[in-house]
Amino acid sequence: MNSVLERFNKIQADITKQTASLKETVKIIAVSKTFSIDHISPLVDEGHIHFGENKVQEAEKKWSSLKKEKVNLKLHMLGKLQTNKVKKAVSIFDYIHSLDNIKLADTLKKNEVEMGRKLSYFMQVNFANEKQKLGLSVSDVPSFFEYCKNKIDLNIVGTMCFPPFETDPEIFFKKAYELNKSLKLNELSMGMSNDYSKAIKYGTTFVRVGSAIFGERNI
């Protein structure tokens, strides 16, 4: 069997086992950034739906014709989104996980209206207050959420958490779970190749797994 498929199936089996007693199903976003379509396609052909990218241009190049062919595919934007790339992003992506400021929210709304498309959004929250990282500070989340939901009607589905590498992610996963619950949001985006199983312990509904499926990235 193809090695990408083999690794994916093993992760899927692990997750199915871990979630056997839970109500939620956990969806795997296969993070295919930097990899060519040739490397990714065994998973697409097998019927997997959710894929993640972190650059608009790369996503467009790799996925636009494939998405027309396979209309069920869902593409997730995981990286920083600049407002000048929003138009393209709204045309190619189905989910944006990096929503973290009003200007971006307004620009997304404007382009949704112009294109007659509606996306789903995760608010990225900087739970550890890391200076270099994207994300809202925890205290800004309720008012930002209120604005997106009630003022401009963006479909916010949950919170996205990308904890610092050097510490145990569990405290951040717990914070994300509690914040999400307090806002009555249903989806959570957390857990990567090294810690998806911990994220599942804290109720995540999407895990974002790249290298454990596709292999190490060169860049």
Ligand X SMILES: *Cc1c(COP(=O)(O)O)cnc(C)c1O
Q: Which of residues 30, 31, 81, 123 is near ligand X by CB under 6 A?
A: 31
Is residue 78 near ligand X by the rule CB under 6 A?
yes
Q: Which of residues 54, 126, 159, 204 is near ligand X by CB under 6 A?
A: 54
Is residue 192 near ligand X by the rule CB under 6 A?
yes
Number of residues that bind ligand X (CB under 6 A): 13
Q: Closest Cα to residue 217, out of 29, 11, 39, 75? A: 39
Residue with tokens 């992760």: 11
Is residue 12 near ligand X by the rule CB under 6 A?
no
Give the binding range for ligand X (CB under 6 A) out of 105-113, 125-133, 150-158, 202-210: 202-210
Residues, the chain: 219
Locate 105 and state its tokens: 């929210």
How far is residue 122's CA from residue 78's CA, in Å, rounded to a whole number? Answer: 10
**Of 132 and 150, which CB lies nearer to ligand X in the complex structure?**
132
Locate 153 and state its tokens: 């009607």
Give the binding range for ligand X (CB under 6 A) out of 20-28, 99-107, 172-180, 206-214: 206-214
Give the binding range for ligand X (CB under 6 A) out of 10-18, 37-45, 170-178, 208-216: 208-216
How far is residue 110's CA from residue 74's CA, in Å, rounded to a whole number? Answer: 21
3-state helix, strand, coil in the chain (%, to 5): 45, 20, 35
Is residue 208 near ligand X by the rule CB under 6 A?
yes
Q: Which amino acid is residue 84, in one-letter code?
A: N
**Of 77 and 156, which CB lies nearer to ligand X in the complex structure?**
77
How far is residue 47's CA from residue 186's CA, in Å, rounded to a whole number? Answer: 25
As measured in angstroms, the least distance from the Cβ of 84 to ligand X is: 20
**Cα–chain center distance at 192:** 10
**Of 57 and 143, which CB lies nearer to ligand X in the complex structure?**
57
Q: Which residues bind ligand X (CB under 6 A)?
A: 31, 33, 54, 78-79, 162, 192-193, 208-212
